[in-house]
Amino acid sequence: MTRIDSTSSEPVERISVRPVFHLSRLIWAIIVVFLVAAVIESLLTNPNYGWGVVATYLFHPQIVRGVCFTLILTVVAMLVGIVLAVTMAVMRQSANPILRGVAWFYIWFFRGTPIYTQLLFWGLVPTLYQTLTVGIPFGPTFAEWSTKEVFSPFLAAILGLGLNEGAYLAEIVRSGLNSVNKGQSEAATALGMTRGTIMWRIIIPQAMRVIIPPTGNEAISMLKTTSLVLAVPYTLELTYAAQTIGNRTFQPVPMLITAALWYLAITSVLMIGQGYIERYFGRGFDTSTTKKTRNRADLSEDATTKFLDVTP
């Protein structure tokens, strides 16, 4: 039996590898560089953008206050939406047909109507109902309040944004719950766990890996959707503050740029936070191409260092 050693000292001719030249890539690179240079030149040389005005009002107290209220609206509306989404997604999974029907109607209605229309409706609630009462239908009334005193524009904005967001997030949560292997719940049932314990301790933690990315996108979208709360009307958010200053100073474009810069800054922070959360819930599910390539390279290297037994 002859043993051939792959580590033989015989000279091995090296293969010279040359990268393939792609003319189309070079052409597209030149086009992109040309377009970017044209845009930069336009931004720097056009005085109508008013970069000096942007720098002056970027941290104006009215703008900063608008940023704060925009963040408050975003956070509170997302919390309302998440609570409603989880509730409705669990109801869609329920064996009770009444609960499934209620969840289906909620999702159907709030996904089927525009957010601007919903905000207009919530803003008109004090017009539709002058008083809010607590009592028995067609019976006696126990308490009564003035709608204008209780139903503030801030509350109307939160309800409009939160209820609409909950309908979209409910489908995201439902898809995440369905992504978990049914064997997980079956095994937990065999161990004697209740349905609620299985949902909160087994299913939802594993579904978060699927739920987090689209939920992060919805949070970023919610940040920009707050600009529509003027329909309520709620006049303390960022876009309205920028428009107010722009109308007063006759500089609408620089003020819109100021608002856009703030939105871009907040969105960037949210994207970074989303990345950290995704990595946290994605532990143990590393399927990156780099890792696969590295593992294949290691296997190939191990195979080439072994001895081959050849029968004479």
Residue 11: what pLDDT? 64
Secondary structure, 3-state, the chain: CEEECCCCCCCCCCCCCCCCCCHHHHHHHHHHHHHHHHHHHHHHHCHHHCHHHHHHHCCCHHHHHHHHHHHHHHHHHHHHHHHHHHHHHHHHCCCCHHHHHHHHHHHHHHHHCCHHHHHHHHHCHHHHCCEEEEECCCCCEEEEEEHHHHCCHHHHHHHHHHHHHHHHHHHHHHHHHHHCCHHHHHHHHHCCCCHHHHHHHHHHHHHHHHHHHHHHHHHHHHHHHHHHHHHCCCCCCHHHHHHHHHHHHCCHHHHHHHHHHHHHHHHHHHHHHHHHHHHHHCCCCCCCHHHHHHHHHHHHHHHHCCCEEECC
pTM of the model: 0.78
pLDDT tens digits, 193-221: 888 788 888 888 888 888 988 999 999 99
What is the pLDDT, as a whole number, of residue 290?
A: 41
Q: Residue 131: what pLDDT?
A: 85
**pLDDT at residue 310 in the model:** 41
Position 8 scores a pLDDT of 56
Q: Which residues in the chain show pLDDT less than 70?
A: 1-13, 284-312
